[in-house]
Structure 1
Amino acid sequence: MTDAPRSPESAGPEPERAPSLTPPSASELVGAALGDAARRAGLDPSAGGPTGHVVWRAMGGWRGILESVLPSLVFVILFTVTYDPETQRGDLWLSLGLSVGLAAVFTLIRLLTRSPAGAAIGGLVATAGAAALALLTGRGQDNFVFGFITNAAYGTAFLVSALIGWSLIGLAVGFLMNEGTRWRSDKRKRRVFFWLAIAWAGLFAFRLAVQLPLYFAGDVTALGTLKLIMGLPLFAPLVAVTWLAVRALYPAPAK
């Protein structure tokens, strides 16, 4: 006798479907990369925490501040002290040597203490590359060229992402909040992420607008001083504004 067909209720569980083999989109890849970078910097909105603590972590604490400031500060001080008005040159070898040496010491300390060394290694490579360019040309102001390139690249990326509707801030936050790109269908989020990206683009453009004239004028002391002033002192408040804006869009669940 032929078995009667089973009803859906009596049928066993359906076999599991094979996972989708669709490759991730470009926006998903960019969002994942930016989100991972933000998480490592302590800027995960889902983690919560006071704004001041978040900004402090983003700057890397005392160690991060020293690693960011001291090499440039040492270069500016030594170049200024050894500057000869007649030749209009400072001692580049001494100034750049100690600057790169400090960056190398910070990197070595991180490696020996098994601390995350990615940022320190990147800073060492950038510092050494900038020093090599300055020594090659014999001009102290060329020590800042790589910084100009970095500011121009970041500023352009933030500006373009905002103008085409794919804010880099939105991509990073969407990944961190497990939202993907769904934020683009929310007008409020799109507007906030647009202006945040514009603000970051404005920061990088402002640095270039102020510092480039000093570069072409060859004023190394003023250029180095303004680079320090326009570094963390401008970075920290914008991190705080970004954090507060994102937390307003994604309030923590009530306990």
Structure 2
Amino acid sequence: MTDPTHQPASHPASQPASPPAAATPSTDTVEAVVRAQLAKALGGRRGMAEAAVPTLLFTITWLTASDLDLALTVSIGAALVLLLVRLVQRSTVQFVLNALFGIGIGWYFVHRSAQSGGSEQEQALAYFLPGLLYNGGYAVVLAFTCLIGWPLVGFMVGSITGDPTAWHKDKQVVRLCSRLTWLLVAPCVLRVVIQAPIWLAGNSGSMDPDAAVAALGVLKIALGWPLQLAALGSMIWLLSRNRTPVEPDAAPA
């Protein structure tokens, strides 16, 4: 009776049955689900580039030409060109529209600053305020979801299983999703902690406004996608450590 029980484990011919299941990991593990959803949310390399290029051009134009109108024109023009390319290719315009939305909010803050009599340097500083507010608000919301035990990343799992809250029954899944959500919080907090004092110093006059704009422009690039990719790399590392089964209809044992 001993030999038959050991035969399947040592018989190589019995193993090929498992690879097909592993070849389609999109729904069999929490880790695979989150990886797929993060890739979809970011739009891949192209989506990340489309989100970064307009801001990158605004910063470079301002630093080289010190012309706010020109910087805004170049930034908006680049986003419109990217949008046109997407339309011609009949592909999703979501990420370009996100960039245009961000530029539009930045332009609104610049316009308000100009209406209140702000100098061109103060108007340029106003362009960076929406980013600070966004990162601060985003960090607060994500942290709140973790603190109340409903981490936002968990809903990515729910979108795959078909039940938006079933994942919450498994404490192991909740812990994993909380860690992943905290990793998304970290870059936002770091941006605010580093950039907010410079923005305040530039507006209060304790720091030269031109120097503050230049510093914020450089930091916006340095703390943008490089920092986000570092966070995502940490998430991928964490996701590669375990394989937590997705059980959409299973209650906790």
Shift of 1:211: 1.0
Runs of 4+ off more than 6 Å = 53-57
My pick for the range that moved more, 181-190 or 72-81, is 181-190
Aligned partners of 2:77 and 2:163: how far apart in 1? 44
Q: 1:153 aligns with which of 109, 121, 137?
A: 137
Instruction: Tell me the matched-pair count.
Output: 200
Counterpart residue number, 1:166: 150
Aligned partners of 1:184 and 1:191: how far apart in 2? 10
Counterpart residue number, 1:102: 78
Shift of 1:210: 0.8
User: 8 Å contact 2:54–2:99 — kept in the other structure?
Assistant: no
TM-score, length-normalised on structure 1?
Answer: 0.68
Aligned partners of 1:64 and 1:108: how far apart in 2? 14
- 1:74-98 per-residue CA deviation (whole Å, 9 max, x = no partner) reads 222221123xxxxxxx311111111
Q: Which segments of 5 or more consecutive residues in structure 2 lack a partner in the other structure?
A: 1-24, 114-119, 203-211, 247-253
Shift of 1:54: 8.7
- Structure number with higher helix proportion: 2
Counterparts in 2 of 1:158 and 1:57: CA distance versus 1, 3 Å: closer
User: 8 Å contact 1:211–1:223 — kept in the other structure?
Assistant: yes
Aligned partners of 1:243 and 1:182: how far apart in 2? 23
TM-score, length-normalised on structure 2?
Answer: 0.68
Q: Which has the larger radius of gyration?
A: 1
Counterparts in 2 of 1:55 and 1:233: CA distance versus 1, 3 Å: farther
Shift of 1:45: 4.5
Shift of 1:120: 0.9
User: 8 Å contact 1:107–1:124 — kept in the other structure?
Assistant: no
Report percent identity of matched pairs: 28
Shift of 1:142: 1.0
Measured on the aligned residues, the alpha-carbon RMSD in Å equals: 2.8
Task: For 1:172, give the aligned amino acid.
Answer: M
My pick for the range that moved more, 53-62 or 146-155, is 53-62
Find out whether 1:221 has 2:204 as its counterpart: no
Structure ranking higher on relative contact order (CA contacts 8 Å, 6+ apart): 1
Q: Which segments of 5 or more consecutive residues in structure 1 lack a partner in the other structure?
A: 1-43, 83-89
Counterparts in 2 of 1:115 and 1:107: CA distance versus 1, 3 Å: same
Counterpart residue number, 1:117: 93
Shift of 1:132: 3.4
Counterparts in 2 of 1:206 and 1:243: CA distance versus 1, 3 Å: same
Where do residues 183-202 of structure 1 align in structure 2 (5 Å cutoff)?
A: 183-202=167-186
Shift of 1:181: 2.4
